[in-house]
Amino acid sequence: MGEQEVPTGTGGRGKRRLGVMGGTFDPIHHGHLVAASEVAALFHLDEVVFVPTGQPWQKSHKAVSAPEDRYLMTVIATASNPQFSVSRIDIDRGGATYTIDTLRDLHSLNGDSDLFFITGADALSQILTWRDAEELFSLAHFIGVTRPGHDLTDDGLPKGGVSLVEVPALAISSTDCRARVAQGDPVWYLVPDGVVRYIDKRQLYRGQ
Ligand SMILES: Nc1ncnc2c1ncn2[C@@H]1O[C@H](COP(=O)(O)OP(=O)(O)OP(=O)(O)O)[C@@H](O)[C@H]1O
Ligand SMILES: O=C(O)c1ccc[n+]([C@@H]2O[C@H](COP(=O)([O-])O)[C@@H](O)[C@H]2O)c1
């Protein structure tokens, strides 16, 4: 892992540095956790807050598990890391989830912090389709991370608004984890142990 040029963020020097890892987390897996951990180290973040989506509008064609199940799995997965926390803001706001709202709310709650939004290569490539895309970059610095099977590029995105970083390649997706559970295949070591237990306890993904 090399040393990165560390942007001062959208505010200035001397502020707290708060990473934001948004996702549907259905379920959360080690690809998410490694991405957040790597970016936290490379960009000297004080904390990374995981923000499970309420209703992910670009996944509305898919069945998404209940927000409370996704929230609890995210809490279980992050609980042992003192640098990680979980926010309910997107779940409690209700309605479709837009990152513009996430970032505005996090700014209100963390006036002393610069925000660094962490996103995989697949999500980054879609960012111009997000609500109020042009304003997003004034609220946070975006950090795109490598993901197997996806090209990582900042083409078309504002210069200086995005950093691209390579993280250890983990070819894990929530889609594959759900399919494995549905087929009776193991998800041990793809997701944290407590998440395996929670999926089993709540009988998630069985009928898919
Ligand atoms: N293996 C991975 N490596 C790097 N980034 C990842 C990885 N998996 C997901 N991400 C990133 O984490 C964020 C949240 O992803 P999400 O919760 O949609 O997981 P997913 O595995 O892509 O889910 P699904 O398969 O259901 O679409 C996105 O920015 C996504 O690009
Ligand atoms: O703001 C939007 O319009 C928007 C559209 C699609 C995805 N996002 C955000 O991108 C993050 C990853 O989303 P997903 O659906 O890949 O889990 C999560 O924080 C979403 O809220 C945001």
Question: How confident is the prediction along the chain (208 residues), in pLDDT tens digits per residue?
Answer: 455 566 766 655 689 999 999 999 999 999 999 999 999 999 999 999 999 999 999 887 788 999 999 999 999 999 999 999 999 999 999 999 999 999 999 999 999 999 999 999 999 999 999 999 999 999 999 999 999 999 999 999 999 999 999 999 999 999 999 999 999 999 999 999 999 999 999 999 998 7
In the prediction, which pLDDT does 59 show? 85
What pLDDT score does 6 carry? 65
**Which two tokens mark 13?**
């020097």
pLDDT at 1: 45
Which pLDDT does position 25 carry in this prediction? 98
Q: Which residues line ligand 2 (CB under 6 A)?
A: 22-24, 53, 56, 58-59, 97-100, 123, 130-131
Instruction: Check if 170 has its Cβ closer than 6 Å to any atom of ligand 1.
Output: yes
Q: Give the closest residue (by CA) to ligand 1 atom 21.
A: 173
Ligand 2 centroid to residue 23 C-alpha, Å: 6
- Ligand closest to CA 70: 1
User: For a substitution probing ligand 2, which of 28, 98, 125, 126 has the most ligand atoms within 8 Å of its CB?
Assistant: 98
Nearest ligand 1 atom to the CA of 28 is 17
- From the CA of 28, which ligand is nearest? 1
Residue 16 pLDDT:
97
8 Å CB contact between 141 and 159: no
Q: Which residues of 117-142 are buried (b: 16+ CB within 10 A; e: fewer)?
A: bbbbbebbbebeeeeeeeebbebbbb
Question: What is the structure's pLDDT at 12?
Answer: 58
d(CA 44, CA 58) in angstroms, rounded, equals: 31
pLDDT of residue 13: 65
